């Protein structure tokens, strides 16, 4: 395969696992990061050590010009075949009656607007309507969209609810243009996102409540994402795959 896969937030967590598995599966990986250059470079090195090809690009998904620059960099690697809209943020636990506009704007801009901007760039390249050869997009939702995350981050849950609607709508919009659009909704996954929300003990606390009695790994989320990107999922579009141990 000589197709390029853009993975936003590929430096750590689920995006890192997706990038590494994609590199092994023959994708040319263009991964983005926003702050952690060292982590991003180490993902590139690991892909290259396995015989793959990868590039790390500093690009904030919330900034339109930086998203355009990310896809321009991807263009230099080869034809685009896929996008994983993975970059996302949480915030510290709060009730809705405590949330200020600055917090809400950051959350919605990063998690929702960023995914729209990246998908727009990808569709312009992959859609047969624009002379492209088709491709696949996978969005990162969350079981929080269904659970609502009360007393933690209802704003985050709502941003992922928007990702579900976005997945349905975009899938239908481009279904006849060679592009499949799906989402993966993880449950409790072992990454640094929980500490970034000020709850480093969140997994230990909530893990026992999962029907499978454990949290998941980033690799367990990456595998279904790579399946959705592959030709094995050639008749699957507009679907949200839950990866949550039954939660």
Name the residues that contact ligand NAP, by CB under 6 A. 8-9, 11-15, 32-36, 39, 60-62, 86-89, 110, 140, 142, 186, 188-189, 191-193, 196
CB of 106 to ligand NAP, least distance (A): 9
CB of 127 to ligand NAP, least distance (A): 24
| HEC profile of the chain | CCCEEEECCCCCHHHHHHHHHHHHCCCEEEEEECCCHHHHHHHHHHHHHCCCCEEEEECCCCCHHHHHHHHHHHHCCCCEEEEEECCCCCCCCCCHHHCCHHHHHHHHHHHHHHHHHHHHHHHHHHCHHHCCCCEEEEEECCCHHHHCCCCCCHHHHHHHHHHHHHHHHHHHHHHHHCEEEEEEEECCECCCHHHHCCCCCHHHHHHHHCCCCCCECHHHHHHHHHHHHCHHHCCCCCCEEEECCCC
CB of 36 to ligand NAP, least distance (A): 3
Nearer to ligand NAP, 186 or 245 (CB): 186
CB of 187 to ligand NAP, least distance (A): 6
Q: Is 156 a catalytic residue?
A: yes
Nearer to ligand NAP, 87 or 171 (CB): 87
Nearer to ligand NAP, 13 or 245 (CB): 13
Nearer to ligand NAP, 13 or 82 (CB): 13
- Among residues 33, 153, 156, 235, the one annotated as catalytic is 156
Nearest partner of 116 among 4, 227, 8, judged by Cα: 8
Contact, 69 vs 75, CB < 8 A?
A: no
CB of 109 to ligand NAP, least distance (A): 8
Nearer to ligand NAP, 86 or 121 (CB): 86
- Active site residues per annotation: 156
């Amino acid at each position: 395969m000589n197709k390029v896969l853009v993975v936003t937030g590929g430096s750590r967590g689920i995006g890192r696992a997706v990038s590494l598995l994609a590199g092994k599966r023959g994708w040319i990986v263009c991964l983005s990061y926003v702050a952690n250059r060292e982590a991003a470079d180490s993902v590139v090195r690991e892909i290259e050590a396995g015989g793959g090809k990868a590039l790390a690009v500093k690009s904030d998904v919330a900034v339109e010009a930086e998203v355009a620059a990310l896809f321009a960099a991807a263009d230099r690697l080869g034809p685009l075949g896929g996008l994983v809209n993975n970059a996302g943020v949480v915030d510290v636990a709060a009730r809705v009656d405590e949330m200020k506009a600055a917090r809400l704007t950051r959350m919605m801009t990063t998690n929702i607007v960023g995914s729209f901007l990246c998908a727009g760039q990808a569709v312009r390249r992959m859609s047969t309507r624009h002379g492209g050869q088709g491709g696949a997009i996978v969005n990162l939702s969350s079981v929080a969209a269904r659970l609502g995350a009360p007393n933690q981050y209802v704003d985050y849950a709502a941003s992922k609810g928007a990702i579900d609607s976005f997945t349905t709508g975009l899938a239908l919009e481009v279904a006849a243009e060679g592009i499949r659009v799906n989402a993966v909704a993880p449950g409790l996954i072992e990454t640094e996102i929980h500490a970034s929300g000020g709850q480093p003990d969140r997994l230990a606390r909530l893990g026992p409540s999962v029907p499978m009695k454990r949290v998941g790994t980033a690799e367990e989320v990456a595998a279904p994402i790579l399946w959705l990107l592959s030709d094995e999922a050639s008749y699957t579009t507009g679907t949200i795959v839950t990866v949550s141990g039954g939660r």
